[in-house]
């Protein structure tokens, strides 16, 4: 009975979706998108229009997004805080080759992630992708050596400072140009397609990259539960 | 190119169905990762390299990893 | 109906992915399988939104060549791409939170079957 009901529901939803989307004809950009495409270079000097939209035109949205990501990570940590009843595995220490290889690969992967988010306004990529790459480097370290302790104090400080810097960049736009996260006149816009260009966009994207990288690293650390003995006072540093 | 797209879409749908039908949770998680990776190819084809990078690194990478961690932490018996 | 374009193919694939994922959520009894279904439907929705803004005659919205700068109408709509980028990252956060709850529920009953958690049902 339930199965039939769900199949009927899904068929109705599929019919609705097929009727909703314009099958077959390509879409032209709307008026707002056309403005971004025509004036994006003049207003922001960032070659990558997606970055301009994310960091500048819809920067407030991105500020909310990193906050949501932080809240979900904090929520996961809160849900998994008490250790009673959770499955805990005995793990053998991994081999010397694996541990040394992971430590050797850690720095190049972090540098690659930093490269991705520093060049976010010029090429595909940006803070979110670079942050994910950095988190994958941290995950490699955690998987190779389960007893590895992440520097939680440094990570929390970095994350708070990145969020604070994002808001401060917005306030600078409010003071100079009269609107939050404005890119006009805060920093020189520079020339098109150079590393030092696009005003505050690369600075904000670097901060977003640091924040997302530390957030996802703490998420992996919370999920993977490196097998430290549960502390009696609860809560983790 | 069109045939490659058709093949990718076919594999996408089939691995989605297989992920929902297999009894093995680990292979289901890996198949969802495969779906994410193929979708990132489609993003690249339609001219969205930013989205393709995000989908490949977050959807296919980190998402699969946290699924595997959760499966390991909810195993029925300790091995 | 004219010839099948890539965009039509992608839209049909996206709708199928959404339906497969939601079918998994509705029919399966394993909680982890339901979360996997959510992730699948999430991917399908992202593909749907990104395809709605695509155009096969235009290129990626990165104006890094002088000829693109001279004629910016050669690039696709950047707004759906920005929205999808946001949605992917939020999707990871939502999935992680759901998985944390799955681990906590397993610790509560030593089971992943949704029928074992019916006590709060009215």
Q: Where are the domains of chain A?
A: 32-71+95-224
pTM for the predicted model, two decimal places: 0.87
In a domain, C70, yes or no: no
Work out the pLDDT band at C95, boundaries 50, 70, 90: very high
Q: Which two tokens stand for residue A184?
A: 């006009």
Closest C-alpha to C88, from A223, A167, A54: A54
Q: Which residues of chain B neighbour C75 with C-beta distances below 8 Å?
A: 47
Q: Which residues of chain A have pLDDT under 50?
A: 226-237
pLDDT of C106 strictly over 90: no
Mean pLDDT for the stretch of residues B55-68: 91
Q: Judge whether A134 is closer than 8 Å to chain B, CB to CB.
A: no
Distance CA C55, CA C6 (A): 10
pLDDT of C31 strictly over 80: yes
Q: Do C79 and A17 touch (CB under 8 A)?
A: no
At residue A229, the pLDDT reads: 43
Q: Do B47 and C61 touch (CB under 8 A)?
A: yes
Q: Do C52 and A21 touch (CB under 8 A)?
A: yes
At residue A89, the pLDDT reads: 60
Q: Which domain, by its residues, includes B34?
A: 2-73
pLDDT of B67 strictly over 80: yes
Total domains in chain C come to: 1
What is the predicted ipTM?
0.88
Give the CA distances from residue C40 to residues A37, A173, B15, B52, C118, in Å, rounded to whole numbers and listed in that order. Answer: 32, 40, 10, 16, 25
Total domains in chain B come to: 1
In a domain, B40, yes or no: yes
Q: Judge whether A92 is closer than 8 Å to chain B, CB to CB.
A: no
In a domain, B79, yes or no: no
Q: Do C85 and A80 touch (CB under 8 A)?
A: no
Q: Is A13:C19 a contact under the CB 8 Å cutoff? A: yes
Q: Is A108 exposed, middle or buried (0-12, 13-18, 19+ CB in 10 A)?
A: exposed
At residue A230, the pLDDT reads: 42
Q: Which residues of chain B neighbour A128 with C-beta distances below 8 Å?
A: 54, 58
Q: Is C100:C108 a contact under the CB 8 Å cutoff? A: no
3-state class (DSSP) for residue C113 = strand
pLDDT of B78 strictly over 60: no
At residue A231, the pLDDT reads: 40
**What's C79's domain CATH number?**
1.10.287.3510
In a domain, B78, yes or no: no
Mean pLDDT for the stretch of residues C82-99: 91
In a domain, C26, yes or no: yes
Closest C-alpha to A236, from A77, A92, A102: A77
Q: Do A136 and B61 touch (CB under 8 A)?
A: yes
Distance CA B33, CA B27 (A): 10
Q: Which domain, by its residues, includes C34?
A: 6-58+75-117
Out of A184-198, B11-25, C32-46, pick the least confident: A184-198
């Amino acid at each position: 009975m339930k199965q039939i009901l769900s199949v009927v529901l899904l068929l109705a939803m599929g019919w609705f979706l097929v009727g909703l989307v314009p099958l077959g004809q390509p879409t032209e950009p709307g008026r707002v998108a056309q403005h971004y495409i025509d004036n994006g270079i003049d207003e922001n000097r960032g070659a990558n229009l997606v970055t301009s939209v994310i960091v500048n035109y819809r920067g407030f949205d991105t500020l909310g997004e990193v906050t949501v990501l932080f809240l979900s990570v904090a929520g996961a940590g809160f849900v998994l805080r008490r250790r009673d009843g959770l499955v805990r595995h005995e793990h053998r220490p991994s081999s010397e080759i694996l541990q040394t290889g992971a430590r050797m690969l850690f720095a190049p992967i972090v540098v690659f992630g930093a490269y991705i988010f520093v060049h976010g306004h010029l090429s595909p990529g940006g803070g979110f992708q670079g942050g994910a790459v950095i988190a994958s480097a941290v995950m490699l370290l955690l998987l190779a050596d389960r007893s590895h302790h992440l520097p939680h104090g440094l990570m929390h400080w970095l994350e708070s400072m990145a969020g604070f810097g994002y808001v401060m960049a917005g306030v600078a736009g409010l003071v100079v140009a009269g609107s939050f996260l404005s890119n006009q006149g805060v920093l020189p816009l520079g020339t098109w397609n150079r590393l030092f260009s696009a005003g505050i966009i690369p600075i904000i994207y670097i901060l977003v990259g640091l924040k997302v990288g530390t957030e996802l690293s703490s998420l992996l650390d919370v999920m993977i539960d490196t097998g430290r003995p549960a502390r009696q006072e609860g809560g983790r540093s | 190119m069109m045939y490659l797209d058709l093949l990718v879409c076919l594999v996408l749908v089939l691995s989605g169905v297989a992920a929902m039908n297999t009894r093995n949770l680990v292979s289901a998680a890996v198949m969802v990762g495969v779906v994410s990776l193929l979708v990132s190819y489609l993003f690249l084809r339609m001219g969205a390299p930013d989205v393709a990078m995000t989908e490949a690194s977050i959807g296919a990478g980190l998402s699969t990893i946290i699924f595997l961690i959760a499966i390991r932490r909810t195993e029925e018996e300790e091995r | 109906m004219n010839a099948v374009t890539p965009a039509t193919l992608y839209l049909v694939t996206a709708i199928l992915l959404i339906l497969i994922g939601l079918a998994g959520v509705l029919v399966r009894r394993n909680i982890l399988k339901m979360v996997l279904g959510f992730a699948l439907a999430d991917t399908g929705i992202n593909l749907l939104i990104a395809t709605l803004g695509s155009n096969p005659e235009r290129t990626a919205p990165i104006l890094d060549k002088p000829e693109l700068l001279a004629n910016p109408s050669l690039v696709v709509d950047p707004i759906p791409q920005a929205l999808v980028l946001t949605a992917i990252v939020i999707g990871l956060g939502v999935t992680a939170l759901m998985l944390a709850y799955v681990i906590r529920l397993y610790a509560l009953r030593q089971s992943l079957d949704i029928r074992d958690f019916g006590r709060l049902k009215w």
